[in-house]
Amino acid sequence: MTRTHAYIACLFVVFFYSGNILVGSALNELPPITVAFFRVLIAAVALLPLGWQSAWRYRSAFRRHLGPLLLLTITGVTFFNTFIYTALQFTSATNVSVLEAVIPVATALLSAWLLRERLRLVQWTGVLVSFIGALWVVMGSVTDHLFGGWNVGDLVMVGAIVSWALYSIAVKRYIHLFPEYGTLLVMTSLSVGLLAPLVAMEWTVMGVPEFGYWAHWAGLAYLGIFPSVIALLLYNRAVRVLGASQASVFLNFLPVVTMIGATLFLSETIAAAQIAGASLVIAGVLLTTRVARKRP
């Protein structure tokens, strides 16, 4: 994959992940762990004909590098989207998309901490600007009480941000150890096993949900194929070419695409504070990743 192809792949990732948020919001009648479980189950079934041969051929590599494999699985497949769908039970699709756009900043910070990458003054400035923008969005106004505008969904998104930032770093360090399709099959299959007891607990507490509406299955099919398989393949390939920081910076476009989709399809009203906060988040992310994007 060339750099140009990697950029195009990242744009498709943004559209598919925006659809993940919009469809996940439309499915909030279903419990969040249930949505996450059926997403990975459908993804595993879709990947079976593509990845079973390479998964079997590289089974010794999976056993040998079980730690990195579990890190990739837990952060990028199992709990990232569980956090997303849980957050959508309590907050808007727009808020989720803006907070998800903070991921490149979180990736840069974790890279500085875990990989000892040095951040320059302009990058630290970008971190601060993005943080202020995220606060602005979830509080509704910078003049609100410090935590008055936060809700449970906004706080849950912190888990999603950290999960994907860790996944981006893990992809750069470990994904070359595994085959492409076989790895996704193994990761989604492991996620099915990890989420199965959690969804059983959810059904015990909340009752078994009704799946009678065709829209439920259509939405779950979208989540299981496009964001779970196609977008993840494209993102992993882009990270190999561009690096974690440059690939994740394309998430800047996520709030814009999601805001448009939320207005058209979910009848959400976009407040001026959300637009202003999203602009600050995007500006801060651009500053944070500025040095990385200039490197050849």
User: How many Å apart are CA 94 and CA 97, to the nearest integer?
Assistant: 5
pTM: 0.80
Enclosing domain of residue 56: 3-294
Name the domain count of the chain.
1
Question: Other C-beta atoms within 10 Å of 187: how many?
Answer: 27
Asked whether residue 222 carries a pLDDT value surpassing 90, the answer given is yes
Q: Please give the pLDDT value at position 188.
A: 94
User: How many Å apart are CA 168 and CA 246, to the nearest integer?
Assistant: 10
**Is the separation of the CB atoms in 22 and 262 below 8 Å?**
yes
Q: Please give the pLDDT value at position 194.
A: 95
User: How many Å apart are CA 183 and CA 187, to the nearest integer?
Assistant: 6
Q: What is the tens place of the pLDDT at every residue in 253-279?
A: 777 788 888 888 887 777 777 777 778
User: How many Å apart are CA 208 and CA 269, to the nearest integer?
Assistant: 32
Task: State both tokens at 78.
Answer: 């199992």
Asked whether residue 65 carries a pLDDT value surpassing 90, the answer given is yes
